[in-house]
Structures are given as C-alpha cells and as structure tokens.
Structure 1
Amino acid sequence: MSKVVLITGASSGIGKSIANYLSKKGMVVYGTSRTQKEDNSFSYKMLALDVLNVASIQNAVSEIIINEGRIDVLINNAGMGITGAIEDTPTEEMKKVFNTNLFGAVDVMKAVLPQMRKQKSGKIINVTSIAGYMGLPFRGIYSATKGALELITEAARMEVKQFGIDIVNVAPGDFATNIAAGRYHTPVFENSAYKETYQENLNLMDAHVDGGMNPIEMAKEVYSIIETKSPKIHYKVGGFMEKCSIVLKRILPDKMYEKLLMNHYKL
C-alpha cells in the first residue's frame, strides 16, 4: 500500500522538492499552501492549509482522511524567516514567526495525531534548522523558533511512542531556494546602533542561500527517514562546516564558541 503523505509549505523551495521526490517514489502526496494553487509543475495534489488557522488545518486533514482513509506521514515544513537585531525587531513580528514556525507546526501535529493513533502507526517529520542549535546574531528569533520545535519534538515523541508513532526532526542548513525573499527583514534603520553590522550580515545571509545545497538532498534524506523502521531523533542536512558547528558547540567552552561565531559574522 502506498504511503499517504501530508507536507505543509509545498508550493516552493524545499517543500516542493520533497513533495515531487516522494510522489515520484510512488507515495500519495498531498502538498499544502496558504491558498489553493493549480500548477502543472506539481506532481501531487495541492490543498489550501494555513498553519495559523486551526479550521483550515482540520479541513485539509479531514479531506485527506476522507479521500485516502489514512495519513501515514506528516512533514511539517511550512515556515518563515526573520532577520534583525533583537533590539530593533518589532515584537509583533517576532510573535508572527513563532506562531508560524512553532505553534503552527504544533497545531498540524495535533490535527493528524488522532488518525495516527487510530491506525497505531505514523511518522511526523518536523523540518527545523541547523540555526536552531545555536543563537545566531541577527537571526536570533528564527533560531529560537526552530530550537523550540526541536525540543517539543523530543517531548512529544516520548508521549506518542506508545501508539506506534515516531516524531523526528530534520534540520537543514543553507539551501539554494527562495527563502530569503519570504523572510521578514527588519529594516536597516538609519539611526540604528546596528546599521553597519546588520547590513553586512544581511549580505552574508543572502550569499549563503545563493551558494547553498540543492534541495533534492533534503528530499532524499526525508525519503530515507520515511523508509527507516526505527528512525533517529535528530537528522542534519547541510555542509561540513554547518554540521561541524553543532559538534563544536558541544565540545568548546561557551566563550570560545561565541568568539568563533562572532569572527564568522564579522562582529
């Protein structure tokens, strides 16, 4: 029986790449975006699902269950970026990103878990970020949202294990996608104490994305996780230095690690 997969944020970037790849592998894939999209480039069905709207989430999940009778895999991929100094970034914008990246993902998990419990099986794959393993300058809010989702995954997977359900994290590094265009960028204020360093870091972030890996690498990793009977808790998909940065944080003294980051970000 072909696995039935729900993936949020599947109209572009990493989500679209994963959805196309899984569809070609013979899975029944339902992608979502905030509004219904009709596009010949999709090799899978698209539904409207806004992670900020619980009714929208429930409607999409119900439609899949009515059509297929089950949901085997949820890939929580929908998210948004944010940049800016903590002092300069409007708190309301911070809350919007937490609502999307953290609470939106949690609400989608809540929506599929009753069906997975009924089936006594299921996998939930939360797409986090290597940035969630450390507080990055001018990306602190994004780091915090993804780090929080990592920890919630660790807790939830222990709660649902008794029902035959696996929940895992997969943390991408920089990928060549259009993510930078969708970020909330705190303006570079003329009177900001961070004007020069923030602008330099914006340029650095965009260069990292432009030189990032092909999203197909994320698709292959997600497929491997789905096909693994007993997956790990944490997966990282990125360049050598990105993965190395996580290891270094574990083994280096805090201030030494901080100095390495500050040198990298020219602070």
Structure 2
Amino acid sequence: MNELLSSDLSILLVEPSVTQRKIIAKELQEEGIEQIDFAEDFHSAKQHLSKNIPDLLISSMHFKDGDAYQLQKYLNTELSDYSIPFMLISSETRRQQLESFKQSGVIAILPKPFSKLHLGKAINATLDILAPQELELDLYDVHDLRVLVVDDSALARKHIIRILNNLGAQRFVEAEDGAQALAILENEMFDLIVTDYNMPEVNGQELTEQIRNSDKHSHIPVLMVTSEANDTHLANIAQCGVNALCDKPFEPDTVKKLIYQLLEQS
C-alpha cells in the first residue's frame, strides 16, 4: 500500500478550453483529488510553477502561446531538480507526434476522451513514483543490483533510473546506444540490462542478440522498453532473446513486477 493517497496529490492542469478543464477536473475529483490548480497556456503555467510545484502536471497538447513540447522541455531544463511527473492528454494519434513524449519519460499519455481506467492507472503510476516501495528479492540484495541502462535519450535514462532507484537499486551504468553498451560489457558485469529498442548504430534487438551469443553475458536478464505498437514487430523483438518487454510510457508497478519475475526465476 502507498502511504501517499490520491487525495494527497496536488495537480496543475494546463488546458486552454474551459469546458475541457471542467470535464478533466470532474474526473480527477471522482478519483479523490481536490487540490487542482489551472493554467490556460504556457505563460500562465510558468507563472504558477514559479510559486508552486505540483505533484503532477497534466497538460493538453496545444495552447495559444505554445504546446506541450515546450512545457515539458521547460520542466526538464528549468525545473529538472523537481522531477515533476508529466501526463499528456491529447486527441493526437500520429505516432511521430507522440514519440518524443514516449521517449522522454512521461508518466502517461491519455487520449481524448479518456476512460476512468486510463486515468486511474496514470494516478497510480504517479503515486508509485512519489511514494515508492522497495523491491524485496530472495536471490539478490536490491541495493547491490548492478544495472546497465541503455537508451539514446538522456531523459528516458533518467526516468528509468528514477523508477529503479525507487525500487531500491543504487548501482547504475548508462550507455547512449547499443554500441556503447557492448563496449561497457567487455569490461563489466551486470545483474540486469534495461534497454530501449530504437537506437542508432546498434539497436536494442541487435544488442540483445549479441548478449545472447556471448559466453560471458548470455545469462543476463534483458528488459526491453519500446514505443513500438506493431504486434508483428513486437513478436520479432521478442524472438531476439529479451526476457521481458515493456511499453513506453511504462507504469512503475509493471516494471517492478517484471524485474521481480526476471531476477527471481530459477
């Protein structure tokens, strides 16, 4: 159980439409959330953030003076020390338009309209980040777990490490792509590898194949995180030897369960 409850959360909702603000606020209130502040555009959001840091920022895609890309960039640069969870609510469905959000560690991307199930999962993911529970393992001391995190997005690596750190892991090595990961593996050993799929030079599938063909590292569990939505493509990835697949954006509780299964399996 999380000590932090949904009723404890403070939220900044950035939405230009008064009607949409009312609809989303009502849904949040039905989840038990009452501490909701509003902003209608990028400028008013920055003004609010200069005075109050929310537990979660929820944003629509477009404002009159900017968009969610700019807002998220502002959070990741000017307010990076706060690591504010970011949730996007958008009617956008084009993969290329959403890819940067998936790669940057958003807590959730909800469609318009979204279901109570969508929102409930996103709120739970926020609670898991803000009030994490340490992973209890029989075969490993989670504090000594050696983890290699491979992703060409620095923001994605930061998000993955934050999730794993919340579970109790403390020993991380980062690689910007599969090629760098292979170079690191020549000299170091790990208990777990978490890798992205889409990367330059050597992608996650190629990295995993080389790991599986290695006498030294073939036993290491590999968790692949990917924004690929094509089932056929996911099936091809699964055949390369990964132990588990996780979608971007991913829920912390899902990652926790997958890592437990990977490390405790006989």
TM over 0.5: no
Return the TM-score normalized by structure 2. 0.24
User: Would you tell me which structure has more helix in proportion to its own residues?
Assistant: 1
Q: Which has the higher contact order (CA 8 A, sep 6+)?
A: 1
User: Would you tell me which structure has more strand in proportion to its own residues?
Assistant: 2
